[in-house]
Amino acid sequence: MGLPVEAAGLSEADSVAIAQQVQWANVQMPAGPVATSYICSGQGIPVLLLHGFDSSLFEFRRLVPLLAEPAQAHHQVYAMDLLGFGFGDRLAAQPVDPAAIKQHLLAFCQQVIGQAVVLVGASMGGGVAIDFAVSYPEAVKQLVLIDAVGFAAGPAIGKVMFSPLDRWATNFLRNPGVRRKISEKAYYDRTFVTPDAELCASLHLLMPRWQEALIAFTKSGGYNFLSKKIPQVKVPTRVLWGRQDQILGVKDATRFERTIPHCQLVWIENCGHVPHLEKPQETAAHIADLL
């Protein structure tokens, strides 16, 4: 496995550094091994970062170096690509649905990290983290949710995920102009939408079977089943939420705070849906403070 050759076009320092750190582990699953892309940086408490829908570990290119600094309470920071996403192997015979994603995440934690983690989930990754923390509370020390799905419905594209519109819909998502519009909506400060940022957000589209995996996941219904599970989260939780989130809005932030028993909500001001990209220093500080 490897990154697409187009990764040579990355130009910003954080992006280049993350690309140089990507490695692959053969995570053993019931249907066979799955080559799983991830990075690991720093020493200390394991912190595992989970990316959002149709994204990759490049989403955490600005957060990883901040959390991995020795000054930040000695964290060993992992960022992994979820099953069916990022730069992992989509060719292995695995379903791409929440159950398989959870099984793959457990196998990664057991086989690569080997101990309980602080789980940080952004957007859809927050839904993955909630599902995992409820199912395997012994594997999660603390939980951080960054503008997370859970109460919100899945992407609207799921409504057209039937043949032949499923391929039309994913080809629509592949369009650079469409992806740029999505990125612009995700940020409060649109100057962050640089050519390098656009390349980071689209590199994984060049991996084999990107389209098939995205169709399979969306047809599964995604994480629309979590509303009843959220009150079952027992681990200490911090919710970080961009005050100007235009992707999920802001109502769910206070719903998480009310519903999760041991939960603290922190607003990130002048920030959209991706605080880990738009306000990485503030986001890192709040995660470090929780630890």
Could you tell me the CA-to-CA distances from 216 to 98, 106, 164 in Å, in that order?
Answer: 11, 21, 14
| pLDDT tens digits for range 64-113 | 999 998 665 578 999 999 999 999 999 876 789 999 999 999 999 999 99
Model-level pTM?
0.93
- Residues pairing with 40 in the sheet: 78
| pLDDT tens digits for range 117-171 | 999 999 999 999 999 999 999 999 999 999 999 987 655 444 434 444 456 567 7
What's the CATH code of the domain at 87? 3.40.50.1820
Arithmetic mean of pLDDT over the chain: 91
| pLDDT tens digits for range 23-49 | 999 999 988 999 999 999 988 889 999
pLDDT value, residue 31: 87
Quote the number of domains for the chain: 1
Domain span at 210: 5-290
| pLDDT tens digits for range 205-222 | 999 999 999 988 988 889
